[in-house]
Amino acid sequence: MVGVEYIKNAVSELMGSQSTGHDTEHVFRVYNMAMNFCEVVPDANRDLVAAAALLHDCDDYKLFGEESARLLTNTHRILNGSGFDPDFCSKCVDIVKTIGYSKRLTGIMPFGIEGAIVSDADMCDAIGSVGIVRCIEWGAQYKAPFFDPTCLPQEVDGEKYKKVARHQPIINHFFDKLLRLRELCLTKPGRACAAKRHETMVVFLENYFDEVKAPPSWTKLLENYK
């Protein structure tokens, strides 16, 4: 087995044990969404989009540590066994290096149209109804409180985001990241998908703040993201 099918199997084996919203189901949702985006962006290399989408979390620092994230250990290992030529593998690595919200906060942009498609698909899977569930799953993994009305979100850069993301109430993560992703999408299908999913989160938060009688400062803050 070679090519994209080989990568699918290798990624499934690697990611199957994850339980923080970055599991195999997430990877394949991103893959399927990226493939759908390719229908609207026909100039993209579909194999390159497929490979990068499947590999985009294989060295995530949150799951595999900073050294793996820096060296892209799993990405290189899987690509080396895939049968793709060195030029293809190099381009795929260049894309994977650019995927992730904390990287965008430091000014790193996706590599080429293929990178833009994968980045958009990854960001879209972080928002909407699925994004709400993933956010709760991630916070539960670190026993984070769901909401602290006295703890308003603060502006964070790339390095600060990586340090504070695990230690804040779950609701804060919407303001630290999720509500910002709509503006970071780069492709026409990505922007359309993100706009719809963004609205789902705004309605959820509006209802939640109303039901728990949150201080007006939270509703006012949410107004900035409508």
Could you give phi then psi for residue 16, rounded to 5 degrees? -60, -30
Read off the pLDDT of residues 101-146 as tens digits, 9 standing for 90 and up: 989 999 999 999 999 999 999 999 999 999 999 999 888 888 889 9
How far apart, in whole angstroms, are the C-alpha atoms of residue 128 and residue 124?
A: 8
How far apart, in whole angstroms, are the C-alpha atoms of residue 111 and residue 174?
A: 26
Read off the pLDDT of residues 78-102 as tens digits, 9 standing for 90 and up: 999 999 999 999 999 999 999 999 8
Contacts of 48 (CB under 8 A, 6+ apart): 88, 91, 92, 95, 114
Mean of all residue pLDDT scores within the chain: 92
Which pLDDT value is given to residue 16?
A: 75
Two tokens, residue 162? 């990586």
Is residue 181 a contact partner of residue 194, using CB atoms and an 8 Å limit? yes
* Domain spans, the chain: 3-223
Which pLDDT value is given to residue 102?
A: 86
Is residue 142 a contact partner of residue 170, using CB atoms and an 8 Å limit? no
Is residue 127 a contact partner of residue 182, using CB atoms and an 8 Å limit? yes
Torsion of CA 8, 124, 155, 66, to 10 degrees: 0
Q: How far is CA 23 from the centre of its chain?
A: 12
Fold of 3-223: Hypothetical protein af1432 (1.10.3210)
Which pLDDT value is given to residue 1?
A: 77
Read off the pLDDT of residues 7-45 as tens digits, 9 standing for 90 and up: 999 999 998 766 555 689 999 999 999 999 999 998 999
At 198, the amino acid letter reads: H
How far apart, in whole angstroms, are the C-alpha atoms of residue 50 and residue 137?
A: 26
Which pLDDT value is given to residue 20?
A: 58
Instruction: Tell me the pTM.
Output: 0.93
Higher pLDDT, 163 or 181: 181
Higher pLDDT, 79 or 63: 79
Residue-wise burial string across 167-197, b where 16 or more C-beta atoms lie within 10 A, e elsewhere: ebbbbbbbbbbbbbbbebbebebbeebbeeb
How far apart, in whole angstroms, are the C-alpha atoms of residue 49 and residue 201?
A: 27
- The Cβ-side half-sphere exposure at 108, using a 13 Å CA radius, reads 18
How far apart, in whole angstroms, are the C-alpha atoms of residue 126 and residue 181?
A: 8
How far apart, in whole angstroms, are the C-alpha atoms of residue 114 and residue 90?
A: 13
How far apart, in whole angstroms, are the C-alpha atoms of residue 164 and residue 185?
A: 24
Which pLDDT value is given to residue 19?
A: 58
Is residue 74 a contact partner of residue 34, using CB atoms and an 8 Å limit? no
